Amino acid sequence: MTELTIYEISSPGRVGVRFPEPDVPLSPLPEEFVREDLPMPEVSELDVVRHFTNLSVLNYSIDRGYYPLGSCTMKYNPKINEDMARLPGFAFSHPLQPVDTVQGNLALMYTLQEWLGAISGFPAVSLQPAAGAHGELVGILIIRAYHLDRGDTGRTRIIVPDSAHGTNPASSAIAGYEVVNVKTNADGNVDLDSLRAVCDSSTAGLMLTNPNTLGLFDCNVREVIEIVHAAGGLVYGDGANLNALLGIVRPGDVGFDVMHFNLHKTFSTPHGGGGPGSGPVGVAAHLADFLPDPVVTILEPGTATEAPLYGFAHPAKTIGRIKAFHGHFGMFVRAFTYIAMNGAEGMRKIAEHAVLNANYLMARLKDTYHVPYDRICMHEFVMEGHYDYAPDVRALDIAKRLMDYNFHPPTNYFPLIVHEALMIEPTETENKQTLDRFADTLIQIAEEARTDPDLLKTAPHITPIGRVDEVKAAKDLVLCCWMPDTL
């Protein structure tokens, strides 16, 4: 069943939520600004609630099932997070209020900066970036500002491993850099020789994801960092995979210069069908002055009986403001709640069990599916989605067939360096029974590929719609359900 669109259920004259009549004398709007037509829907509150409720059930979600989407850390999002973010004192405070009226907010933000620093080993943290990619841009701009500040103007290139997420090269490019790729070696680590070959005085930095998108911890991470540092470059850490490292190792300790966090992955803020995220950036001491403007600080220290006075500071050599106001505060409340409920021990347990779950699934599947890098993985692993005995069947088919068993498919065709990649991130919040059902299903699908490959090629069968015509979508380009006549 397809749902009608909100425009299709609109009926002239119908009114949803009402507002009071003005309680003040009226002033006319100057004629020239009066809007003639307002092509918006006319529906009742029931229409709206029913429409969006019916849309919602067409979605797969963590709350309804297992979502082992690699690189996305689809862990359970605690319900308490949602309640806390909606506390009136938080939800109804204005971003430009005088700081003495919002000490609760600022205390929370300051503490979160401290906590993220403690977790990552970076002494300074900015909460401002709106998502991972935004954090990357900020980090690269910080690297740029650092070099320029030292008068080092010849550094025009950022090195990015071939396994990197697409945002890494894209962020580098927006920051004005040329992107240089570096290979992954047979063990799934950065190829040191290739790296040495591209490192020189034009190197502004390297963007490294560790564990990388193969789910592997680069055992040469110190050498990699040393090589880049030796060439005068800085090392950016893509923190999308931080879930594997909580309480295990602090990127700041290992020598990373700057890194972003994904609160919407590691710290349980919900992904919301595509955001909002939050991508704070942590930096080593030598980069603290370059952080985006502003950061939260203590203006007047507290005493035994009184809390400190929190406020904003403007880093001395800041790259500038990177969005309006102070970041995705609502996400900070959720991440704060989550970290507070876990503590130091809890952090380590998260990483340990995320890694346990991934290795368990890999162990259960590696006899059936080819795992190109066969070593202990971190929080996720990548296997190849094809069968020798069924050459027509592709990773995509396996992904779609999983839907028939009420599983969300893994990430597919990423990272690009693995043939027919299926990237599986179980997360720590899933139990053994679920993992076993998932493994059993993938093994059964392998069998189906042998006996009835069409079952895979035509999958999914039980979803609200089947496979879609993507070519038509891009060709016809219907991007709007109702074009107003006036255009």
* Site residues for ligand PLP per CB under 6 A: 71-72, 131-133, 165, 167, 209, 213, 238, 240, 262, 277, 279
Among 110, 122, 177, 405, binds another protein (CB under 8 A): 177
The reply to whether 14 sits near its own copies by the rule CB under 8 A is yes
- Minimum Å distance from CB 244 to ligand PLP? 12
The reply to whether 40 sits near another protein by the rule CB under 8 A is yes
Stretch of 194-202, 229-237, 339-347, 449-457 lying at the interface with another protein (CB under 8 A): 339-347
Is residue 47 within 8 Å of 9, Cβ to Cβ? yes
Which lies closer to ligand PLP via its Cβ, residue 208 or residue 288?
A: 208
DSSP conformation letters of 83-150: HHHT-HHHHT--TTS-GGG-HHHHHHHHHHHHHHHHHHT-SEEE---SSHHHHHHHHHHHHHHHHHHT
Which lies closer to another protein via its Cβ, residue 425 or residue 448?
A: 425
- Minimum Å distance from CB 256 to ligand PLP? 14
Which lies closer to ligand PLP via its Cβ, residue 135 or residue 311?
A: 135
Residue 97, token pair as written in the block: 């209020």
Name the residue with tokens 């919407």.
264
Residue 294, token pair as written in the block: 């502003």
Give, as ranges, the residues between 419 and 448 that touch its own copies (CB under 8 A): 429-433
Give the strands of the sheet with 411-412, arranged side by side.
381-384, 421-424, 411-412
Burial of 107 (0-12, 13-18, 19+ CB in 10 A): middle
Which lies closer to ligand PLP via its Cβ, residue 102 or residue 190?
A: 190
Query: In whole angstroms, how far apart are CA 233 and each of 206, 226, 254, 337?
Result: 7, 10, 15, 36
Among 150, 314, 419, 472, binds another protein (CB under 8 A): 472
- Minimum Å distance from CB 105 to another protein? 5
Count of CB atoms within 10 A of residue 8's CB?
A: 11
Which lies closer to its own copies via its Cβ, residue 420 or residue 428?
A: 428
Is residue 260 within 8 Å of 138, Cβ to Cβ? yes
Burial of 148 (0-12, 13-18, 19+ CB in 10 A): middle
Which lies closer to ligand PLP via its Cβ, residue 264 or residue 326?
A: 264
Residue 18 sits at φ, ψ, to 5 deg, of -100, 160
Which lies closer to another protein via its Cβ, residue 230 or residue 341?
A: 341
Among 11, 59, 97, 458, binds its own copies (CB under 8 A): 11
The reply to whether 53 sits near another protein by the rule CB under 8 A is yes
Name the residue with tokens 């110190």.
222
Binding mask 182-221 for another protein (x = CB under 8 A): ----------------------------------xxxx-x
Residue 61, token pair as written in the block: 């979600």
Burial of 356 (0-12, 13-18, 19+ CB in 10 A): middle
Give, as ranges, the residues between 387 and 416 that touch another protein (CB under 8 A): 399-400, 403, 408-409, 411, 414
CA distance 208 to 216: 12
Among 66, 68, 69, 125, binds another protein (CB under 8 A): 69
Which helix H or strand E contains 207, and what residues bound it?
strand 203-209
- Residue 486 β-bridge partners: none
Which lies closer to ligand PLP via its Cβ, residue 119 or residue 263?
A: 263
Among 155, 157, 326, 394, binds another protein (CB under 8 A): 326
CA distance 105 to 307: 13
Among 151, 274, 301, 391, binds another protein (CB under 8 A): 274
Among 112, 124, 125, 141, binds another protein (CB under 8 A): 141
Among 19, 26, 30, 79, binds its own copies (CB under 8 A): 79
Binding-site ranges for its own copies (CB under 8 A): 1, 9, 11, 14, 44-47, 49-50, 53-54, 57, 62-65, 76, 78-79, 406, 429-433
